[in-house]
Structure 1
Amino acid sequence: MSAPEQNAPAAPQQDGLDKAVQWGTKKAGHEQNASTTEKISDGIRSGFKKLTGKDVPIKDKQ
């Protein structure tokens, strides 16, 4: 019998912004995979930088 952790793919690293996006999409009734969540959070980072000229204070873990 093998442990489930051995067969599961490596979980992507999520920062606070990724977790917030994932929580928000689940709260809205939409399930997103990690790739889509990362794309959404990257878009938020880009928009924030264009709007304020500063980086989001949460570091991105990729």
Structure 2
Amino acid sequence: MSNLFSSSIGKKLLMSISGLFLIIFLIVHLSINLTLLVPDGGETFNVAANFMALPLIKFGLQPF
């Protein structure tokens, strides 16, 4: 298993996974910010922003 991440294919796999994470991150943030355009006084945005407070989403924000 350790040979997988030190090989050329393993490094490319790791880079592709991190690229997919970045794309998903950008799409989620774009879609949440686009909810500001819904004319409901910001209620949709508040619901979407509260989704970002889930522990699964928030794990990267913890101080070390």
Q: TM-score range by the shorter chain?
A: 0.3 to 0.5
The structure with more radius of gyration: 2
More helix as a share of residues: 2
More relative contact order in 1 or in 2 (CA 8 Å, sep 6+)?
A: 1
Q: Give the TM-score of the pair, scaled to structure 1.
A: 0.34
